[in-house]
């Protein structure tokens, strides 16, 4: 039986969306990566995907310009970006193998080596100044303070924070959030975060369903419109107060998420627990924080090893 790669690619993307429950954004990304592979190689049959074909595609990919310039020169695609194409291709090949369609085995494709990911962190003193930067008792200051306290208390992604409903139960110390891949997880609120959110909500006079709303004057054209803050707006708010707090480095909601995870590990939390709180699907993603545990191990070694009298 002859199999057409274009048809198989469409069936694979449908499989990702329906059986695997991947988000539409993920499916769209996979479609783009596979389209580029098929468009470059001009292959039609799965058995035509060989080691040589993949090697040539990788060479071509490695020479593609990323669209950014450094020192007047166009940069090529980063290894991490190139790996996204290879991950999509491996997933596709694995899908074909499960359907007993002859093609290149997934294990023949190795990902490019990338350097260790560096973490952008702020110090304890910088964090304290940042959290205290919204110091008024007006609605905007209370909203912004509630955003920051919630970010640091939960380690939420900015998209998760932006999508929170107004009617969260503040009599409890936990809330459920829908994260990547539509997965639900529980995060925990500090007592201080709950008090700040309550104060902010008491000050609101609107009926909007969103927890965090824009306070800029605007016309509401229909009942479906919401004042909900976008992730981009929250990023701008964070940047504004970081500058106000005198922090020279770039501060984003993701930096606060990193700081949340690092704070947990420095105070004795294990990596698996931090993985669950952050909503990471794989422990390998959480392992970017092992520099914290490594530091702790160095202290253990220094304090307890070879104490000769």
Q: Residue 293, exposed/middle/buried by CB under 10 A (0-12, 13-18, 19+)? A: middle
CA 60 and chain centroid, separation: 28
Q: Which residues, including other chains, have CB under 8 Å from residue 303's CB and lie 6 or more apart?
A: none
285-291, long-range: CB < 8 A, 24+ apart: 286/261, 288/116, 288/117, 288/119, 289/119, 289/258, 289/261, 289/262, 289/265, 291/119
> Other C-beta atoms within 10 Å of 262: how many?
17
Active site (catalytic) residues: 157, 180, 254, 257, 280, 289
């Amino acid at each position: 039986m002859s199999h057409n790669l274009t048809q198989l690619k469409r069936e694979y993307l449908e499989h990702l969306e329906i059986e695997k429950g991947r988000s539409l954004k993920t499916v769209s990304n996979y479609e783009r990566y596979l389209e580029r592979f098929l468009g470059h190689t001009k292959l039609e049959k799965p058995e035509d995907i060989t080691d040589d074909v993949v090697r040539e595609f990788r060479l071509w990919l490695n020479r593609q310009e990323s669209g950014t310039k450094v020192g007047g020169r166009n940069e090529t695609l980063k290894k991490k970006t190139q790996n996204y194409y290879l991950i999509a291709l491996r997933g596709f090949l694995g899908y074909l193998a499960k359907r007993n369609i002859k093609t290149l085995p997934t294990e023949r494709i190795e990902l490019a080596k990338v350097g260790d990911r560096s973490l952008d962190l702020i110090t304890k003193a910088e964090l304290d100044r940042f959290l205290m930067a919204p110091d008024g008792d007006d609605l905007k200051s209370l909203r912004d303070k509630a955003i920051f306290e919630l970010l640091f208390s939960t380690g939420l992604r900015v998209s998760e924070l932006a999508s929170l409903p107004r009617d969260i139960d503040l009599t409890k110390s936990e809330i459920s959030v829908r994260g990547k891949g539509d997965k639900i997880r529980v995060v925990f609120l500090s007592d201080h975060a709950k008090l700040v959110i309550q104060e902010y909500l008491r000050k609101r006079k609107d009926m909007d369903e969103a927890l965090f709303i824009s306070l800029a004057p605007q016309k509401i054209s229909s009942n479906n419109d919401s004042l909900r803050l976008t992730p981009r707006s929250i990023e701008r708010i964070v940047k504004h107060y970081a500058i106000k707090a005198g922090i020279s480095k770039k501060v984003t909601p993701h930096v606060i998420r990193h700081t949340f995870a690092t704070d947990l590990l420095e105070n004795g939390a294990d990596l698996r627990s931090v993985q669950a709180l952050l909503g990471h699907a794989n422990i390998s993603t959480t392992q970017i924080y092992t520099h914290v545990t490594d530091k702790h191990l160095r202290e253990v070694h220094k304090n307890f090893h070879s104490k000769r009298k």
